[in-house]
Amino acid sequence: MSQWIRRGRLHRPLGVLGGFLLAMALFSSAMAQEPTTDETVADLVAALDSAWLLIAGFLVFFMQAGFAMLTAGFVRAKNTANILMKNMIDACVGGLAFWAVGWGLAYGASDSSSGFIGMGNFFLNDFEDYAGWFFQFAFAAAAATIVAGSLAERLKFSAYLIYTVVITAVIYPIVVHWAWDANGWLTAFKEDPADLVMANGYVDFAGSGVVHMVGGFAGLVGAIFLGPRKGKFGPGKRVNAIPGHNIAIGSLGMFILWFGWYGFNPGSTLALTGGGAALAAKVAVTTTLAATSGGVAAVLASKLITGRYDPGLTINGVLGGLVGITAGCATVDPWAAVVIGGIGALVMYGGVVLLDRVGIDDPVGAFPVHGCAGAWGVIAVGLFSTEAGMAAAGYAEPSKYGLLVGGGAEQLVMQFLGLGSIMAWVVVTAGILFAAIKYTIGMRVPEQEEDRGLDLMEHGLDSYPDFGPTGPGIFSAANGN
């Protein structure tokens, strides 16, 4: 045996055995000591919940990559770098704005009994909830990114820099305060249920209204002020399709967003302990079913209406289903998630048709997906939420639930109040914002820049140099770009 020890063949098994025996001895010694203290258990619970919130926040932040790929695929090749720049800066500028002002307006102590606005913790002074800040920052960045899709291919980059700061720092955080802070006037999280406006208060578990409607309606207002792309609408209200340049990366963007939604919706439990894990699992299922039914509904609708299976509409159908379920993902049953997702896709399609009818150009479909399907999601809470779902999600008055499942109309009325308030706030404030930009520095690039592409004129490069304006021009000549 000595020769095996000398040659190093046996020292490793002996080392492993020795380590195992030592570990067992330490474990036995620990078990012989006093039981784990309450403080240790509390630390472990807090660590688990913080880790869950961080991981969910990482997933939500990864949605920025999804938005980048989706919007890049849905615009023309000559504007690819421009839209990618806007997605990158949304995260960067949004982070600074939310740090400096946004969090304080959203979750700072309310400065009046009306619950209109938060006030405190600006620049994260006197602040310790870093996991909570990171999770909410990821949501704020998502809301701002939605707007870029509506204004793609003709907006000045300087104008973009102004609006993204204002939306992330002011417009979005005030809606958050109304709906999700315990002091907000719409909130479902009042310490005393008697202080709720009615029913459970405004129920929006993960943000169909708070996040998606804010981004969607801000984008709509911006698109109205900006005007359509050159060539989008012809004589006699004819609508000219302007296809995106890369359906492959658009599809990739959709799947990244779908994946990120598992942080967006399940992560909104904010904890795994105290029943949070079981609720998160249910939310993951309702989220999945809504996405799948949205995709199927969009495929069937596109075939029925256009005579073909449209990949672009299918992508947005999946996203419309996801947006639609976001408000009620914790309070509805799985069968209802299928219905909500399918209707969300149809509502999205209706939004596309409506914009074309009134002559508003939204290159990526941001308003139909986020504004229209977001509004549907808010309403769906008041139609399909069950009493058990309301109770499991921790709402104060679970006996007030969905109209179509026997809960009466009170919660539905409350949802319409929340929807109307968010819509009015965003339309008015975004209208002031975009009017101020338009009549000062201007919103739209010159016609020559729009023709040649924002990549070259705003950023001095071609995303595809072999085919762009400075290259042989094969792609540009073939496609009129």
User: Residue 279: exposed, middle, or buried by beta-carbon count in 10 A (0-12, 13-18, 19+)?
Assistant: buried
Provide the pLDDT for residue 37. 81
Separation between Cα atoms, residue 98 and residue 361, nearest integer Å: 29
Helices (H) and strands (E) in the chain, counts: 20, 2
Separation between Cα atoms, residue 481 and residue 475, nearest integer Å: 8
If residue 239 lies in a helix (H) or strand (E), which one and from where to where? strand 238-239
Q: How far are the Cα atoms of 70, 96, 295 from residue 312, in angstroms, in the given order?
A: 10, 34, 11
Separation between Cα atoms, residue 192 and residue 79, nearest integer Å: 52
Low-confidence ranges of the chain (pLDDT < 50): 1-22, 24, 26-27, 30-32, 113, 472-481
Dihedral of alpha carbons 100, 63, 146, 118, sign: negative
Provide the pLDDT for residue 3. 33
Report the SS3 class of residue 425: helix
Do strands 233-234 and 238-239 pair parallel, antiparallel, or not at all (unpaired)?
A: antiparallel
Separation between Cα atoms, residue 367 and residue 13, nearest integer Å: 64
Provide the pLDDT for residue 36. 59
Separation between Cα atoms, residue 52 and residue 138, nearest integer Å: 14
Provide the pLDDT for residue 237. 83
CA angle 81, 83, 86 (to 5 degrees): 110
User: How close are the terminal C-alpha atoms of the chain, in Å?
Assistant: 80
Provide the pLDDT for residue 470. 54
CATH 1.10.10.10 fits 41-444, yes or no: no
CA angle 375, 377, 383 (to 5 degrees): 110
By C-alpha distance, which of 188, 211, 110 is closest to 426? 211
pLDDT in tens, 132-162: 999 999 999 999 999 999 999 999 999 999 9
Report the SS3 class of residue 233: strand
By C-alpha distance, which of 129, 150, 84, 204 is closest to 369? 150
Indicate the domain borders of the chain.
41-444
Q: How far are the Cα atoms of 197, 302, 397, 466 from residue 410, in angstroms, in the given order?
A: 11, 36, 11, 60
Q: Which residues lie below 8 Å from residue 304, measured CB to CB, with a gap of 6+?
A: none
Do the Cβ atoms of 330 and 269 come closer than 8 Å?
yes
pTM of the model: 0.89
